[in-house]
Chains A and B, each alone.
Chain A
Amino acid sequence: MSRSEDTLHILLRDGTQAGPREVDTLVDRLGPHLAQAALGVRPPRRRLVLPVGASVVALAAGALLMVQPTPPPEAVSLVATWDGDVSGVVSSPVEGLALTIDGRGQLGGSSRHPEVRWSKGRIGISVEPGALDGFTVETQEARVDVTGTAFEVSRDAYGTRVTVSRGSVDVRCGQDQDTVQAMTADLEPIVCLPTTAGGLLGRAQAQFDAKAPAQDIADTLTQARRQQPSDMLTVEILATLALTWQRAGETERAWTLTHEALSKASGFRHDDLRRLALDLALDREDCAGAAVFIDSVGTADARSQRAVAECPELAPRP
């Protein structure tokens, strides 16, 4: 049925209105946290603090390294932010530099050595030879330095991709950025992988969506686990890995990973994983395993019916 735009607004407003009982329930559930806060007890810090701290130090160190010791007198500071609202050629603050953007990032540095911190999307850069002392594009996982060339940096779930159409650039991947790869127009684009567990999980999920080979996805997720993610992120990594191996027909691997994820999961994710475990138990023709998880689905669910068909002993007793 067709409605007016306003009716849709009202529909969403009314349909998502928080009711007093819901609010009461949620505030009640905060009880232990309120008690802790009232006692002045701070819960243990999240593990996130260390990587965040480390990256702040790394960023600060990177910023120090990038500071021009004595900028030429005519150099002026550059400050601009692109929020993703502008797409296409943007007016360049510096002569001899052309920028085409479709995404989010920030421009800084000086007019002699502009520096772009790129977050998401694509940025195309063309620098006339000799026009600048240097030009740097940094993403979370890559740093590209250039003097006179035309190149493009794009960042998405897969990582950061650098493509050169004229001249050459130096690309440094990863947090250490100590390995420099020279990149020219005749070479295949360089892809710098995400460096954080969350970023690598995003890459793996994009690979999964694109039906990449299971081993490639598993490699990405193995790297993600090496970053010592939080328990919450570990569960997502394990669940993605289990789904990957299930789709590849590697049921035993998927089964083991699902159990590992279950041991760390809580709430609705725990219920989700129990359903996956039921599915895998049936794939393994493991009626005892299925018996453990059959209560994770209703009797009308296709999985329950399959379980009963394959394991008659699981049929509900009259």
Chain B
Amino acid sequence: MGHEIAWAEVRRRDRRALEALCRQWMPTVLQWCCRLGGRGLDAEGAAQEVFIVLLDRLDSLDGPHVVGSWLFSATRRVLAQHRRRVWVRRWLPGVSIDHIVGGSNPERRSSARSDLAQVQDIVSGLPPRLAEVWVLVQIEQRTVPEIVDLTGIPEGTLRTRLRRARQLFLAEARSRGLVAPSVAEVP
């Protein structure tokens, strides 16, 4: 995860250490928001909210070893709140999803109408508990112990969820013509 942050400095609320902590984890959290939130969600806004909560609750963190799982759990909660907001967007007149997709990243914006948008739609259509496991394994290629540590999900449950998520993802990708019908079923 790049350079190590001196935790004692963070506990002392040293401004530079706090900024380094945010900078270290921002890419990870932003990617979680983009991958788990779906196209209609303001991923940058959600990521920022996660860090505002982090700065507000620094005292509740026991040490650097819990930062990842703490942030993952905060991201889950913030995304759940944002999904509620997305409902309203569906019904508002003239709201184009594209202007919030990817925020300030032009590459992400321009690809929003492509297959990537469809993949994001499929992932955001999965039940959140399945989507998070699928993203951590298939997209972020994390190991099982790492995910157990991050999410607190028991290993057996994790494997069951992953299998189910892959089945659902492949079925939907097939129905959209994104993968060939010959692509093997999930065992």
Contact = CB atoms under 8 A, between A and B. Distances in A.
A and B interact physically:
yes
Contacts of A84: 127, 129
B103 interface: yes
A198 B87 CA distance: 13
Interface in B101-126: 103-105, 107-108, 111, 115-116, 119-120, 123
A27 B22 contact: yes
Contact of B92 (A35, A40, A243): A243
Interface in A2-25: 2-5, 8-9, 11-13, 15-19, 21-23, 25
Given A3-B115, A3-B179, A27-B23, A85 B34 contact: no
Interface in A34-84: 34-40, 42-43, 83-84
B84 A198 contact: yes
B31 A16 contact: yes
Contacts of A159: none
Interface stretch (A88-96, A170-178, A180-188, A296-304): A296-304
Nearest to A19: B105
Contacts of A240: 87-88
A84 B87 CA distance: 24
A209 to B, nearest CB: 9
Contacts of B34: 16, 18
Contacts of B19: 27, 30, 34
A273 B45 CA distance: 17
Q: Is the contact region of chain B dominated by helix, strand, or loop, or is it mixed?
A: helix
B183 A83 contact: no
Contact of A30 (B22, B105, B120): B22
Interface size grouping (class) on chain B:
35 or more
A17 B180 CA distance: 26
B67 interface: no
Given A11-B119, A18-B30, A268-B45, A5 B170 contact: yes
A23 B92 contact: no
B6 interface: no
Contacts of A272: 88-89, 92, 95
Contacts of A232: 81
17 contacts: A8-B173, A11-B119, A12-B116, A15-B119, A18-B31, A22-B30, A26-B30, A30-B52, A37-B13, A37-B55, A39-B13, A85-B160, A201-B84, A202-B84, A269-B85, A273-B92, A275-B92
B94 A22 contact: no
A262 interface: no
Given A3-B179, A12-B123, A22-B105, A236 B27 contact: no
A18 B105 CA distance: 9
Given A22-B44, A243-B92, A34 B15 contact: yes
A273 B85 CA distance: 12
Contact of B179 (A8, A39, A236): A8
Nearest to A23: B26
Contacts of A85: 157, 160-161, 164
Contacts of A276: 92-93
Contacts of B28: 18
A11 B85 contact: no
